[in-house]
Amino acid sequence: MQTTEITLEQIRDFKGKYPRQLWYLFGSEMWERFCFYGMRGMLTVFMVNQVAGLGLDDKTANLQYGAIQAFVYAFTFIGGVFADKILGFQKSLFWGALLMITGGLVIAFSPAEMFYVGTCFFIIGTGFFKPNISTMVGQLYHEGDSRRDAGFSLFYSGINLGALFGGILMVWVGKHYSWALAFALVSVVMTISLINFFIRRRSLGPIGLSPLHPDMPRNKRRSYEIATYIGSLLVIPFILKLVTNTHYTDLFMYIIGPATLVYLGWEMRRFNSKENKRLLAALVFIIFSILFWAFFEQAGGSLSLFALNNLHHTLLGFIPMDPNVVNNSANSLFVIVFAPLVGLLWIWLSKRKLEPNSVVKFGIGFLLVAVAFFAFYATIFFADADGMTSLDIFTLGYFVITFGELSLSPIGLSLMTKLSPQSIQGLMMGMWFLASAYGQYVAGLLGAGMSTADPNASNMAKLVNYTQGYHQLAVYALVAGVVLIAISPGVRRLMKGIH
């Protein structure tokens, strides 16, 4: 894996809009996101299934969903640190893929009994995989290359292409055919992702190779790597305890965030004033992203159960459609269609010196999320006496939220690589995803607060609870967007020239 037939300068001096290596990383990430978003779309539906699932009530399912998703993203921080310090991005990606393949097979063997054990493998595997492939995308570009945001937008299309297929296929197979087969698809598809990366890795040259000093003895280098692999397996019982008991999840989340900030502070002592101010700007984006994901990730929790219980099964009045398929795939479909166009729009505006800065883009993202949740709230005005409401208005909400996501998430990935010194880019990408962990955690709490623990609650009661909750989230998103736009001049000064 230590081949460098192509130099970093050759990679970065590409012609056109996108480097060819971006397409290779696009392919591996696409299949991994098939698994991730397919799993996300299945979680709460599987948990509340009284026959072949876990048989949980809606409130408990929201909390469990939030806990699992929080740990998935929390371990991206840990995976980023080990990639920075020991494995390098390429070996981290390989190890993460192998763990995810194992997790899918474990759950497929016995979904109800082995669900949490397999999920632990999936949590650790995603932690090693996800932040490191995103960091490699950032390293394809020279500092200051205006094409970077467009590259991340295209990469984001790959994420959502996988999410579209996974969101449609896995929940459909689980609901209508076999949960075991649905979880087995994780292993099949992650194997495709791993093979794709293995074949294409030579084109990455030095990107993602081991960060250990080249003069370090081979045996010592190997021992560090093996210790990392063994250690990640030994923590599985610990993670299992945390995931199955949401009280422990609370304790973990109270500790990991402050500990991460302390660790970052320790690392910052090595950098100059300009670099540290940029890191402070990165923290502003990270903190606001927690709020964004707390809103957005209702998709896998409350919105998934809302789709299961409260939406008509027809789109545009005549197209038969499973609402959970819409919930899991509409956003991804819209991203695939519009992400490249939005990326090209940023380039067009940049050439004319009209492109809004990243802080304003974040603010616009929140304002669009607010509009989307007002749309979700508005479904109550189209409900019948049985608490069933319009799938069309629900889909419209996802159309709007897509543009909010495109104003924030791919830009955030790009910013972590722009604002971070190269020696801690894995750490900062991990912190970006750790913020997602807190967002997922808060999303579970918010979803649980909207839902009812009464298994006999009527659809109308559920409709009222959820739509009132969505109205509150719309107001919170509106306030966050206004605040971000107001503080944008101060944050831009911290960014020291990074747009």
Residues 6+ apart with CB under 8 A from 343: 149, 150, 151, 152, 153, 154, 410
Checking if the pLDDT of 1 tops 60, the result is no
Can you tell me the distance from the alpha carbon of 165 to that of 35, in angstroms, rounded to the nearest whole number? 9
Q: Which residue has the higher pLDDT, 48 or 156?
A: 48
- CA distances in angstroms from 366 to 40, 290, 372, 485, listed in the order given: 23, 12, 10, 10
Quote the CA–CA distance of 466 and 371 in Å, as a whole number: 16
Inform me whether the pLDDT recorded for 289 exceeds 80: yes
CA atoms within 13 A on the CB side of 394: 35
pLDDT category at 224 given cuts 50, 70, 90 is confident
pLDDT at 458: 79
Q: Is the pLDDT of residue 400 over 80?
A: yes
What digits encode the pLDDT tens for the residues 245-261? 777 777 878 887 888 88
pLDDT reported for residue 3: 45
Q: How many CB atoms lie within 10 A of CB 52?
A: 14
Of the two residues 413 and 408, the one the predictor is more confident about is 408
pLDDT score of 234: 92
Lowest mean pLDDT among 4-13, 62-71, 102-111, 123-132: 4-13
In this structure, what token pair is assigned to residue 287? Answer: 């903190």
Structure confidence by residue, pLDDT tens digits, 445-473: 888 788 765 667 777 888 888 888 999 99
- Domains of the chain, start order: 19-495 (1.20.1250.20)
Query: What mean pLDDT is predicted for residues 111-138?
Result: 83
User: Is-contact 138 148, C-beta < 8 A?
Assistant: yes
Which is nearest to 339 in space by CA: 388, 411, 396? 411
